[in-house]
Structure 1
Amino acid sequence: MLQIAFIRENQKKVINALAKRNINAESIVDEVVQLDEKRRATQVEMDTILSETNKLSKEIGDLMKNGEKQKAEILKQKVLLQKEKSKELADKTDELAKELTEKLYTIPNLPAEIVPEGKTPEDNLNVFQAGEFPVLHEGAMPHWELVKKYDIIDFELGVKITGAGFPVYKGKGARLQRALISYFLDKNTDAGYLEYQVPHLVNEASAYGTGQLPDKEGQMYHDATDDLYLIPTAEVPVTNIFRDVILNPNDLPIKCTGYTPCFRREAGSYGAHVRGLNRLHQFDKVEIVRVEHPDNSYKALDEMVEHVKTILDELKLPYRILRLCGGDMGFASALTYDFEVYSTAQERWLEISSVSNFETFQANRLKLRYKDADGKNQLAHTLNGSSLALPRVLAGILENYQTTNGIVIPEVLRPYCGFDIIN
């Protein structure tokens, strides 16, 4: 969430920055500034009355000591009226503050200066590419056919148990899935990330804290009875570990990792581009999260990008890195890099990771702060990245490593799998 003081003092800058997201923000900026002015004016009026009431209370005490009860009673009536007025103003202040917060929740983060202009994924900037496209044999298959051939993932069984988008992994498919999770976690912990096991359900405050609410409310599974949400990513519970926390500067940086299943409704997703593992309602993902001093967050972002690159290099998958344009960035992000693996069988790029810097956007919602050199509380910067999302990585492995004899397991995963080939 943007800070209202920043918006008030930088209205043109906010409007121009949000234009990069293809948002005309003039009306919402004007609205929140006016709401803030009303709230502040009401607060000043209330504080003035409270100050006057305190003075009158002291006068009443002095009058009572001097035996001037009649005068004291007149002032008591005035105090009662002022208390009623101050209560009305307090309620009005609370209402205005609530309305202002709700408006601020609808404003996305400002893109960083290096975010490219653009409206669609086609406008994203390719900043890096590595790996060679494998030459597949005649009759090579997309992964949704391969998994049937080798009986390692059953999409129809998932439909029977739950519905579309909930696959059942079995045999070597389940083992490969587990191997990827363990490998990703080991890579992350070796790089200094502390592993967490976190809840898969979060409360409303947690979902608001990282920016999933209200922006993605329709994409989240919600249990109305207990008012809890199934997590769309481990980012939500892991980052909320630090909600309402004031950190010592010596605590920074904080580096966390965790594996969770993820749940997304993905309403309205249909067509060949979402077949098989390309888009699911439930999938596994290993996440990395960092809390950083503002001076170091963009260096940390570069480190996270390099870290994900080492994983894909070891898996020997062809991949590219995109700097997302303003129109394709997530609601809370200031700068995002997407990693995409090339599927030779599908002849298309598959997104497998997003690595983002949120600057103070999440920290402001979370009240996540650190003490600066002067002992003052300052908002920290938060970052997160997929390291990695499993479904499309698995799809890339199945399709790019297929041979006429079976699906070869990447060398780095063989100690985790316990087998070299699926046949």
Structure 2
Amino acid sequence: MVADWVTRLPASTGVLQPVQERGRNALASLGLPSRRQEDWRLTDLARLEGLFALALPSQPSSPQESGFADLPESPADGWRIVLDGHSDPLATVSLPAGVSVLRGAELEQALGHTLERCGCAEAWPVEFNHALATQVLALRIRGSVPALEVLVTASAASLASTRMLLLVEEKAELEVLEVIQGPAGSAHSHVLELHLGQEARVRHGLVALGGGDASLLGHLAVEQEPRSTYEFTSVAKGWQLGRLEPRVVQVDGHASTVLKGLVLTDADQQFATHTAMRFEGEDGQLDQLQKSVAAGRSHSIFNGAVQVPRAAQRTDAAQLSRNLLLSDRARVDAKPELEIVADDVRCAHGATVTQLQEDELFYLRSRGISAATAAALLLRGYCQDVVDLLPPLAQRWPITDQLLEGLNS
């Protein structure tokens, strides 16, 4: 099926032509993932197969067509890019000082480097993106630049493929918020490569809101040089099939990574978060919290891998998975993995699966608050912990209200 789909794709063109051809050859050889592969063991592969029945967009999709009904104005103290994988995202954008476009040999040298460094260049979702992507938004960041907002769009009942590459140079600072909206029947394949130079700082937010039967394959590869700081906060809801894979490598250690995530599922949705963190030097730090809320008959999956080889002495890593069940029919699978070879480390991990606490509900109800309102308040507080960590640009969006809207037990 996959090989036949590859033969029906439009001819590969543009700056990504070699990448497209490699991805198509790989997909034709790989076919669909198998449940025998550990990281696909719990995935509903029938839903993944459904992506190959979607049409490819023939024209750009506007944010409004993609479900951005209440689109805030462009940030007054930042800049906005609309990424649809079809049209030039910089056609009407004036780049601020400190931002330049990667082209020619410079782009060829950088493209795919971080994917290789993170060990995911041949991952199935990445090859799928390679087979489809016709363009890449590739930017170099120098110094401190205004906050960047990226709207990632798709047309209804179509398959969109988008790709970004950000090189953040030594001592540069960047705040970036990606907002992905999935209208009915659509699917997104999104890949981001991010390289942080020495002493660089990046605060990265991802808000992914699907239309209930939309699908998302998101892949993030991050390479950190010494004394850099990377903070990534993600929130996701509304995807019939969702898969988010942040992979981070600290090159030569002495870097700090913060990963915070929140996933909400309802009805018969399935969303999987697979994170991978690798320390390749001394004195690295990781602070990771992954939360999920599962309602209806939905299925939430978390797999968090942390690798600490012998060279990564004095690593300080903490990983926690917290999961909230709103229904006795919902399902959560949490699998933290720590591979530690170094002997001078401080590493901790934990996973919890709970329901709304009866004593907290009783406390609120004893003060005249109805049962439904009390449950909503506790749920809001549970989600707000992560939402508050998104970059300030996110405050212009009604994110918490959108996350809680229509969530059923």
Tell me the TM-score normalised to structure 2 length.
0.23
Larger Rg computed on CA atoms: 1
Tell me the TM-score normalised to structure 1 length.
0.22
